[in-house]
Structure 1
Amino acid sequence: MLAERDRKLTSLPRPASSRALLWGGATASSQYEGAFAAGGKGLDTQDVRPYLPRTSDATTATRLLTRSAVERAKTDTRGAYPFRTASDGYHHLEEDIALLQELGIDIYRFSISWARLFPMGDEPEPNPEGLAYYDRVFSAVRKAGTKVFLTLTHYALPLHLVEAYGGWTNRALIDLYARFARVVFERWGDAIDYYLPFNEINAGYFSPWNGVGLIKPEDGEYNQSDVFQSLHHQFVASARVIQMQREIAPACQSGCMVADFCYYPHTCSPEDNLKTVREEQVNQWLAVDVLARGYYPGYVDRFFAEHGIRIELGEDDLELLARYTCDFASISYYQSSVCSTSETAEHTAGNLVCTVKNPYLQATEWGWQIDPVGLRTALNKLYDRVRKPIFISENGMGARDVLERDGGGKPVVHDPYRVDYLARHFEQIDEAVADGVDVIGYIMWGVIDIVSAGSCEMEKRYGVVYVDADNHGNGSFERIKKDSFAWYRDFIRARHEGTTR
């Protein structure tokens, strides 16, 4: 009788995918392009972020800008503003795409600078020089035989929209954003395979300047109603864009993306476990529930009530969110996090937020705890929640790479720590697929070195291609293949040939 039951169970249909994973790399316009004053581009929110020598609060200071800091940045000619030069990708486009072609990636994730297409953000027509530049980008990527994963906006918001409109607190940005997106889909929609309306949309909660363009009060904290009103406007804008894209470029696949923190309770106490659930709900799952499942979840009511948060909904907002959900969900994953109710627990830095230190894990120089198994956990939890295909749209290791010379004087970068990091995470992706998670692909963050969005510095490097530039925008900007370049190239080649490493 038991054997008969087991036969029936093993024959049940399962929604597992047999797709071959796509292996790729990513950059973002503000962190990669530089050339902040070239081609008619306007200032954006990243152009005014200063480099601050690393201290315990430097990262926060460069991500939470006040009005006085913005005004100072607009006229400052002596300070270092790394995003203005970034990796100078604007002037190295063809060279960089050739490197990605040599690397053999299947898919390239990049973003469009809203301020390069619409310098102020609210012009009736796009900037011709910006259109011409992105014509070159799309053409080069397609000629390289690489699929396109486009991020419509990756933190960088035209500065004028912050100063004149109040950032995403203003519902007018929904229409302005839709105008920007329409230009993108009408001009390049046939070349886009996958896209995100917003990068790490939950960042609006942790990093309001980056995520939703909110100026921090000179004294005090952000108004949380403003933060969640801004997020709501981005949710509605995302649904509006999906509606538009399905009419203009129906072959594109739409996604939502959150920064995934893979929370663990610090102890097995019921209080730590409950805190973990609640932290996950608001910090991570809220955006997923709205954008992938189509509704505001019930736990939001209690959270809003407890924090005195009030937001205004448009008449048709909830219907729009329910009707135009995304086709796939995606995450950035760099580390896991720990939740504790103890006020004395030791903390460490992390992506967007600090976390309790995990004694079982090693960390990078920047305090980010390395947890490959956490990626498998995160993929399982997200897939169980949304039952839609999953993209790992960001993952990688920020490290202080050292440029050296070999015996013949050739520049080299030895980064075995990055190879180890990638190999261990790739193993866990395979395990997640074996678990039944429908994974579309993996995209390595900062595949060519870029300025770190979290700490606003160049020396925190992620790529398999080294860019010879420092935190102050000085250097030759020469491109040098690291040891990890050959490893990732060989890994992808082996996967294409149907073998594993």
Structure 2
Amino acid sequence: MSNVTIEIPHDFMLGAAASAWQTEGWSGKKAGQDSFLDAWYQQDRHVWHNGYGPAIATDFINRYREDVALMKACGLTHYRTSINWSRFLLDYETAQMDEEYASYYDRLIDEMLASGIEPMLCLEHYELPAVLLEKYGGWGSKKVVDLFVRYAEQVFAHYGHKVRRWFVFNEPIVVQTRVYLDALRWPYQQDTSLWMQWNHHKNLATARVVQLFRAGGWPGSIGTILNPEVTWPRSSAPHDVKAAEMYDLFYNRVFLDPAIKGVYPAQLFTLLAQHQVRWSYSDEDLALIAAHRVDEVGLNLYYPHRVKAPSRAWHPETPFHPAYYYEHFELPGRRMNPSRGWEIQPRIVADMAARMRDEYDNFPWFIAENGMGIENEARFKNEQGEIQDDYRIAFIAEHLHEALLARQAGINCRGYMLWAFTDNVSPMNAFKNRYGLIEIDLENQRQRRMKKSAHWFRQLVDSRQLTLTLDDEPK
């Protein structure tokens, strides 16, 4: 075993992330302000672990001052959250603002800035207003793109003078993949054409919000946050390599390429047409996407995705799904997080960094989410009641080390954001797996306690050095 120390550049972000719906709770929410997630929870509460959902979450909306003080105690230089579109407006058609909710964000932003923490605000983190799903079919409708731009205009007008880092979406592919492609979440509808329509309208919405931001002359930058899954083939055989390329095309490049290059991959058009996936787009849409690319991307990186060539013929009566081209592959002996069921492999950061350099012209990016969710963390408490989460410290250190090596090599990686600042609710898993630097005690009025990792993170920020213990023994 040996220790390696690497310097952390002073302009390299060390922050953490969350979202409005996962932290705020429903306190003060008015009738008609349900989001898609609120409606799902109300319709299907039994699928959320132990019935916990967004109703209370961490009660951040009432405890943000306490939590900002904890952010400062942890040493966070940046904090990303979202504005809840469903709560920011009283009328989605006219973009009439909810002054009470808007003033809460004014106070939160001011509190963060006074504490030396830079706010990074995302306009949509799964918070599509439920009424727009019911009335228009959500992002399946171009009307919703128009309404989203009106909402963004109100947000920029209200906060653009003091917030410098903006993001249009967080993980724009997730909701429609879970709902319309895999039919795993409410309202459970398998429709690949609708899946692609949502993809396109979110790409179009990104371009139009970028256009709006720049036309308004707002200072700062406008980006988006994507969750490309670093995809590895089972083997170097051509059929497995093709499976990985297909997975990458349908789930990663469908958003990476429009955001950064301004175009969809040509192969995507070809395959969608070949499989009779019907989606609506225009030359004007494609021109807008080409002309209004983002300034930066945040990339959420958690685990590698391994695939192999399909071993069974596709049933002729089964509608097209990208899984036509691949099957999932589980590498025997892989290192695992048993709580989450995800492989742990920090090399994903190095691979993504090389890709951003080689395929995307060294475009500016940062790790927008990376973290480790563990079940029943109370078993790791010491006599003083502090969770000794050495596993989280090791996980962060290994992934951050890869990001810093990439930065040293001249790759345009601008920071590392941990998921998450506090434990928080997530879809279906609720509070089952804990990700935070800060413990949320559900049994004791959501009391906050710093974990060992919180103190370690503060030292990391103060010293601007990361020391990593390496295993020198051959495997």
Tell me whether 1:91 sits opposite 2:36 in the alignment: no
Q: Does 1:378 align with 2:361?
A: no
Task: Give the one of 111, 132, 140 matched to 1:161.
Answer: 132
Deviation readout 1:408-447 (Å, 9 max, x if unpaired):
xx43111111011011111111222233210111110121
Give the equivalent residue in structure 2 for 1:228. 196
One of 426, 440, 456 as aligned partner of 2:429: 456
Aligned partner of 2:440 among 467, 482, 493: 467
- Does residue 366 of structure 2 align to residue 391 of structure 1? yes
Conservation of the 8 A alpha-carbon contact between 1:48 and 1:81: no
Please report how far the alpha carbon of residue 117 of structure 1 lies from its aligned counterpart in structure 2 after TM superposition: 0.8
Structure 2 unaligned segments of length 5 or more: list them: 1-7, 313-325, 468-475
Matching residue of 2:263: 295
List aligned pairs for 1:401-412, cutoff 5 A.
401-403=376-378, 406-407=382-383, 410-412=384-386
Q: Does 1:42 align with 2:13?
A: no
Take 1:440 and 1:46, find their aligned partners in 2: how far apart are those partners? Answer: 31
Amino acid at match of 1:192: V
Residue 58 of structure 1 corresponds to which residue in structure 2?
Answer: none
* Aligned mates of 1:212, 1:291 — CA distance in 2: 26
Letter in 2 for 1:142: L
Question: What is the distance in 2 between the residues matched to 1:225 and 1:452?
Answer: 27
**Aligned pair partner of 1:308 in 273, 276, 287:** 276
Note the C-alpha offset of 1:36. 5.2
Structure 1 residues 360 and 212, CA, compared in 2 at 3 Å: closer, same or farther?
Answer: closer
2:165 match: 194
Higher relative contact order at CA 8 Å, sep ≥6: structure 1 or structure 2?
2
Larger mean Cα displacement after TM superposition, 133-142 or 395-404: 395-404
Other-structure match for 2:375: 400
**How far apart are residue 205 of structure 1 and its match?**
4.8
- Give the match for residue 4 of structure 2: none
SS at match of 1:47: helix
CA drift at 1:206: 2.2
Q: Which residue of 2 aligns with 1:145?
A: 116
Pair 1:271 & 2:271 matched: no
- Report the number of matched residues: 442
Q: How does 1:39-438 map to 2 (within 5 A)?
A: 42-50=33-41, 70=43, 80-119=51-90, 121-208=92-179, 216=187, 221-314=189-282, 316-341=284-309, 343=311, 355-364=328-337, 365-387=339-361, 388-403=363-378, 406-407=382-383, 410-438=384-412
**1:406 positional shift:** 4.9
The alignment-based identity, stated in percent, is 25
The Cα shift of 1:363 comes to 1.2
TM-score when scaled to structure 2?
A: 0.86
Other structure's SS at 1:371 match: coil
Give the letter aligned to residue 390 of structure 1: W
Letter of the 2:126 partner, please give it: Y
Normalising to structure 1: TM-score of the pair? 0.82
Q: Aligned partners of 1:214, 1:226: CA distance in 2, in Å?
A: 15
Deviation at 1:40, TM superposition (A): 6.3
* 412 and 173 in structure 1: CA distance in 2 versus 1, 3 angstrom threshold: same
Q: Which amino acid aligns with 1:137?
A: L
- Matched with 2:446 is 477
**Which letter maps to 2:119?**
V
Q: CA deviation at 1:360?
A: 4.8
Cα distance in 1 for residues equivalent to 2:460 and 2:385: 23
Aligned pair partner of 2:417 in 435, 440, 443: 443
Relative to structure 1, the CA distance from residue 342 to residue 281 in structure 2 (aligned partners, 3 Å threshold; closer, same or farther) is: closer
Say if 1:119 and 1:385 are closer, same or farther in 2 by CA, change over 3 A.
farther
User: C-alpha separation between the residues in 2 aligned to 1:313 and 1:451?
Assistant: 36
Letter in 2 for 1:460: N
Q: Take 1:319 and 1:26, find their aligned partners in 2: how far apart are those partners?
A: 33
Structure 1: give runs of 5+ residues left out of the alignment. 1-16, 51-68, 345-352
State the AA in 1 paired with 2:171: E
The 1:213–1:127 alpha-carbon spacing in structure 2 relative to 1, beyond 3 Å, is farther
2:92 and 2:261 mapped to 1: Cα distance? 30
> 1:213: Cα distance to partner?
13
User: By percentage of residues, which structure has more strand?
Assistant: 2
In the alignment, is residue 32 of structure 1 matched against residue 6 of structure 2? no
Letter paired with 1:117: F
Helix, strand or coil for the counterpart of 2:359? Answer: helix
Say if 1:227 and 1:137 are closer, same or farther in 2 by CA, change over 3 A.
same
